[in-house]
Chains A and B, each alone.
Chain A
Amino acid sequence: MKTVLIIEDNLEIRENTAEILELAGFKVINAENGKVGLTLAERSKPDIILCDIMMPEVNGYEVIRELKNNPVTSSIPFIYVTASGEKKEVEKAMGLGANGYVRKPFDTKELLQAIDRCSGAPLR
């Protein structure tokens, strides 16, 4: 069973996403902010990370920078889940080494396709 780390400050979105992924057969770890997310990523070494961009204190951009700088986490596939409609924000995120992005609101199919795409082969 593959493990997904969700870094998302909004409780409802975090829980719903987790439930959807669990029903799809993933093991899910939740982080309510960027700081916790970085700690859990290093400790649990998930198979994939889903991360929001706009979060207080440590935002999504800072999270990916830290992850890529750390040899333990640098190779974990990383997907942004963003509420932003701004193309330049998405481009910035992708430029920092993300493997994909999903725009809110997303349906289950979109989310699972994005996960499949960036991990090369189905993870489930």
Chain B
Amino acid sequence: MEQRPISLENEAGFRVLFECATISILVVNEQGNIELVNPCAETLFGYQPAELIGTPIEVLIPENLRSRHAHHRKDYFERPKARPMGLGIELHARKKDGQIFPVAISLGHYELAGEKLAVAFVSDITDQVRAKKLVAEREAWFRNMADNSPVMIWVSGNDKNWTYVNNTWLNYTGRAIENELGTGWAEGIHADDLERCLLTYNEAFDARQTFVMEYRLRRADGQYRWIQNVGKPTYIDNVYTGYIGSCSDIHDQKRATEELEELVRKRTNELYEALDREKEMNEMKSRFVSMASHEFRTPLSIVLSSTTLIEQYGSPNHDERIQKHIARIKSSVANLTTILNDFLSLDKLEQGKVEVELDTITIPDFMKEVVEDVQTLKKNGQVVNIEHRGDNKVLLDQKKLRYILVNLLSNSIKYSSDEATINVSSHANQNEIQISVQDNGIGIPDEEQKYMYNKFFRAHNTGNVQGTGLGLTIVKRYVELMGGDVSFVSKVGEGTTFNIRLPKIAAL
């Protein structure tokens, strides 16, 4: 079947095009008067239908351009040609209400019955102009911000080549912008860092991932300084456009960090060395205490046994002065032995070598033995009373309990006057045994009470009474080792009461 050519040969066809076009169409004769105007144009310029027919085209031109337009119009009719109007310059039109707006115009021409006619196709480009202006403003804003930023900023295209660096960058490297664009920026990287940097850069680009890299960059003064470069992919309307990145000089910060790390390393080593020394000192102290304790015992044995013999060989008359000095030697040997034992006990406690060993103790008998132990220490007329209530038999560490009570009792004796009475009372129930040692001695000053269990501490009112300041330290450690607690109530000039509470291991 033969295909019929589609044509607009009659006026009706053109009229539809003319009436329905969404572009404004005006036909102007050689005199400059409007012959035809379509509805779109009437709407655009704000005129009633047919209002423009016969009026000069210049009514649609801003007043200041009208005379110039008349010249251009004449020129056009002399050499009519289909072309855009005012190529490269911004064109403006005027609405009926006087509003000026940007337009794009294309011109065409034809002849009808010997009359030359020009056709103008007019588009309102207000939105495009506004958008373009906005983009230009944004760009200017970005550049202004970037150039004034303290950080160095760069932009690359999607081909990895840099298309922009800010002034901060240029000031830093001291190079011209043309040297930095493309791949020029990599020329300033330290040779030792270059390969690693390019690898990071290229891999990140290929994966379109954010990257952070630290490397040395040559500054304008020739110094290579550590910088941190962070790059992020950019997208416009979801289309990947390249990267934007920022760099900061982290040289001083990095060096400070390195110095700090070095300092920490050094200090840690010093600490370890100090700990080693401390450990060594402790071991030495232990060896010394052990050795001293052993070596002191031999001469002490000789002093004591010789004294005993002098006593026995003495005249039957028993010179009192000789007896007094013999008693003094014996008591001094006993003191020295106690001190040695305390040192040794404390050292063992500190080394964690002390264990609880349980024995069955009959409290009333045990108390009598303890009082017997301190008999020789008692001053003139001093009396020690014992009182026990509750169960008689308990399972406890006999040696440690003996040490505790002998120590508390001898303190009471030492710090009480002649004729003083000291009361020891004990009470054993199903769960625990409580023992208190009460005296009316010199008492412990309030402000010093908190230090009483510290090693070597002695209250200032102890005067010339002998002691090492270790006894209560050991008492407390022993009590705690047995799972109990020790406390005291004391008032200067009135006396002291020590209370001990020990859990019973098993009822017997």
A-B contact count (CB 8 A): 57
Structural contact, A16 and B297, CB atoms closer than 8 A: no
Q: Assess whether B199 is interfacial by the CB under 8 Å rule.
A: no
Partner of B308, one of A10, A12, A13, A107: A107
Q: Assess whether B401 is interfacial by the CB under 8 Å rule.
A: no
Taking CB atoms, residues of chain B closer than 8 Å to A103 are: 297
Q: Assess whether A71 is interfacial by the CB under 8 Å rule.
A: no
In this complex, the interface size class of chain B, counting residues with CB under 8 Å from chain A, is: 20 to 34
Taking CB atoms, residues of chain A closer than 8 Å to B300 are: 104-105
Per-residue A-contact encoding for B316-356, CB less than 8 Å = 1, 0 else? 00000000000000100100010011001000000000000
Q: In whole Å, how far is B290's beta carbon from the nearest beta carbon of chain A?
A: 7
Q: Which of chain B's residues has its CB closest to A81's CB? A: B301
Taking CB atoms, residues of chain B closer than 8 Å to A54 are: 294
Q: In whole Å, how far is A53's beta carbon from the nearest beta carbon of chain B?
A: 10
User: From residue 297 to 318 of chain B, which have CB atoms closer than 8 A to chain A?
Assistant: 297-298, 300-306, 308-309, 312
Structural contact, B306 and A105, CB atoms closer than 8 A: no
The CA-CA distance from A84 to B297 in the complex, in Å, is 8
The CA-CA distance from A103 to B333 in the complex, in Å, is 13
In this complex, the interface size class of chain A, counting residues with CB under 8 Å from chain B, is: 10 to 19
Q: Which of chain A's residues has its CB closest to B341's CB? A: A85
Structural contact, A13 and B301, CB atoms closer than 8 A: yes
Structural contact, A108 and B308, CB atoms closer than 8 A: yes
The CA-CA distance from A88 to B341 in the complex, in Å, is 15
Q: In whole Å, how far is A54's beta carbon from the nearest beta carbon of chain B?
A: 8
Interface residues, chain B, with chain A CB atoms under 8 Å away: 290, 293-295, 297-298, 300-306, 308-309, 312, 330, 333, 337, 340-341, 344
- A selection of 23 A-B contacts at a CB cut-off of 8 Å is A10-B302, A12-B306, A13-B298, A16-B305, A16-B308, A17-B305, A20-B308, A23-B309, A23-B312, A83-B295, A83-B301, A84-B294, A85-B297, A85-B344, A86-B290, A103-B297, A104-B297, A104-B300, A104-B301, A105-B304, A105-B305, A107-B304, A108-B308
- 9 extra interface residue pairs, beta carbon distance < 8 Å, beyond A20-B308, A54-B294, A105-B305: A13-B298, A13-B305, A19-B305, A20-B309, A84-B294, A85-B293, A85-B297, A105-B297, A105-B300
